[in-house]
């Protein structure tokens, strides 16, 4: 026959050893060194911008400044940096980037973010802003007031060039119909 409390002495021994060991464990915990404080981020070095080179000054003179109208009713604003001569501040959405103007061999102006995040490319026909780290366009089909003028002049020149042959044919036909020659 089995006794109903056969495990009772074992349980009592376990409880007694826990009561004896508890103060010792608590003392060991208090002797443990405190956890080190959270590591603080190392201080960022002070940001410095290099003085503008003569080529950069020339490129800054060729930049299209002002408010740009872009695709999807977006806008970009390009202004001379008030803090750094021959540098440009580009504002789009909630971001503002300090950019260095660079004249490319193709005649395009590159505005290179001094932190390497963004790039703005300006050609006569349009400008676009790129996120070079993410590898995507932020905004495209941007036109500054000067680029609008250049585009309008190009359209007018193209229309005049296309109309010139038609005008010559009409004048030649009119002269042929009257029996006279067209001369100027």
Residue written as token pair 């119909």: 177
Residue 117 has pLDDT above 90, yes or no: yes
Whether pLDDT at 173 is above 70: no
Asked if residue 1 has pLDDT above 80, the reply is no
Q: How much is the pLDDT for 48?
A: 86
The model's pTM: 0.64
Residue 165: predicted pLDDT: 74
Q: Which CATH code of 2.60.40.1120, 3.90.76.10, 2.40.128.50, 3.40.50.2300 fits the domain covering 55-146?
A: 2.40.128.50
The pLDDT, as a whole number, for residue 106 is 92
Q: Which of 173, 166, 171, 174 is nearest to 184 (CA)?
A: 171
The CA distance from 158 to 167, in Å, is 14
Task: Give the burial string for 16-46 (b: 16+ CB within 10 Å, else e).
Answer: eeeeeeeeeeeeeeeeeeeeeeeeeeeeeee
As a whole number, mean pLDDT of residues 154-163 equals 88
Question: Does the pLDDT value for residue 107 go beyond 70?
Answer: yes
Domain ranges of the chain: 55-146
168 or 26, higher pLDDT: 168
């Amino acid at each position: 026959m089995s006794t109903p409390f056969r495990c009772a002495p074992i349980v009592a021994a376990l409880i007694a050893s826990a009561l004896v060991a508890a103060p010792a464990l608590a003392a060991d915990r208090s002797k443990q060194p405190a956890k080190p404080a959270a590591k603080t981020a190392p201080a960022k070095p002070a940001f410095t911008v290099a003085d503008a080179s003569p080529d950069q000054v020339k490129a800054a003179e060729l930049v299209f400044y002002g408010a740009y109208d872009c695709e999807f009713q977006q806008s970009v604003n390009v202004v001379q940096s008030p803090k750094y001569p021959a540098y440009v501040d580009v504002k789009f959405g909630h971001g503002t980037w300090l950019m260095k103007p660079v004249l490319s061999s193709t005649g395009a102006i590159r505005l290179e973010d001094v932190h390497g995040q963004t790039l703005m490319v300006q050609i006569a026909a349009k400008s676009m802003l790129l996120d070079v780290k993410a590898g995507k366009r932020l905004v495209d089909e941007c036109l500054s007031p000067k680029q609008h003028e250049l585009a309008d002049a190009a359209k007018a020149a193209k229309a005049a060039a296309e109309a010139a042959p038609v005008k010559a044919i009409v004048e030649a036909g009119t002269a042929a119909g009257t029996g006279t020659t067209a001369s100027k």
